[in-house]
Amino acid sequence: MQGRGSLSARPILIAIIGFGKIAHDQHVPAIRDNASFQLVATVDPGEACLPDVPHFPTIEDLLGSDCEVDAIAICTPPQIRQRIAQTAIMAGKHVLLEKPPCATLAEIAALEQSAQDHAISLFTAWHSRFAAGVAPAKAWLADKQIRSVKIDWREDVRVWHPGQTWIWDAGGFGVFDPGINALSIATEILPRPLLLRRGALQFPANCDAPVSGQIELEDSGGMPVALNLDFLQTGPQTWDIAVETDGGTLILQQGGAVMHTPEGTHHGEDCEYPAIYRHFADAIRQGRCDVDIAPLRLVADAFLRCRFERVEPFYE
């Protein structure tokens, strides 16, 4: 692994590419609280992002500068991630991809092959898998017979994605931008692969990505999974997964942060992004890739197998 020896004795020098809300609110504090990393640059076509960190408009400008960097965290819209990640890999930089990792399955497959060819760590960072209740939920389900799963993922796009017009473009995922978080949890805690059978996706008349969806899945053993997505939820927001088992019902709430079982409730601290960066540091220093496409594959299957319905236009 390139740079492995030197990185074992000093912080990993990392740059963030794409400086929106998630980069500002989650990536920056997680990096700065982790002694394994040092934030050395931001990259975004907009204004300088942090007063004490060098800023560049493009990755080419960063790589052409005298700023030393070992790793890149890519937080741009998914439509442009593949080109940026490939540029970083070819320059010998380790790469963390925010979710969803790319706009297509072919793009992430090409990046994984390139990372392996160049001995680079590539990490698909499914942040919801690191929520406090997810690992305990997986452990609780391990000896249970699972009978059914119901997933309700409903949030207000105007609250959580203001001004993000890219989310409505082809490749922007629409309601699957949050919905893929639910699928990342489900594919982590359920023991068998999930198969998408049928469903319906609602597309606003002026958008190329869905605003809601009702999807039927099952695992490879025939256990049913119902997925309901809504990007226009007002009032209380809902990010819940309910799993019916022979030992009672498990419920994950708040995006996986809280777990309820017949034995009680498990609360944990907000640990998603700190855990992501611990994992990324380990991957770099151990010389390995960590790429999982299962959640993205199910989204791709939804676009292949679901019925498309046109609904009223969306205006922010």
* DSSP conformation letters of 229-270: EESB--SS-EEEEEEEETTEEEEEEGGGTEEEETTEEEE---
Give me the helix-helix angle, 134-141 and 176-189, nearest 10°: 40
C-alpha span between 275 and 172 (Å, rounded)? 26
pTM listed for this prediction: 0.94
Q: Determine how many CB atoms are found less than 10 A away from the CB of residue 203.
A: 20
Residues of the chain below pLDDT 70: 1-6
Per-residue pLDDT at 5: 47
Spell out the domains of the chain, with CATH numbers in brackets.
4-124 (3.40.50.720), 128-268+300-311 (3.30.360.10)
Of all helices (H) and strands (E), which one includes residue 114?
Answer: helix 105-117
C-alpha span between 198 and 297 (Å, rounded)? 15
Of all helices (H) and strands (E), which one includes residue 139?
Answer: helix 134-141
Per-residue pLDDT at 6: 65
Which two tokens mark 76?
A: 């741009």
Known catalytic residues are 99
Q: Are strands 238-245 and 224-230 parallel, antiparallel or unpaired?
A: unpaired
Query: Is residue 133 helix, strand or coil?
Result: coil
| pLDDT tens column, 255-273 | 999 999 999 998 877 789 9
Is the distance from CB of 231 to CB of 175 less than 8 angstroms?
Answer: yes
Classify the C-alpha dihedral 57-60-66-72 as positive or negative.
positive
Is the distance from CB of 194 to CB of 217 less than 8 angstroms?
Answer: yes
CA angle, 161 as apex, 156 and 164 as ends, to 5°?
A: 135
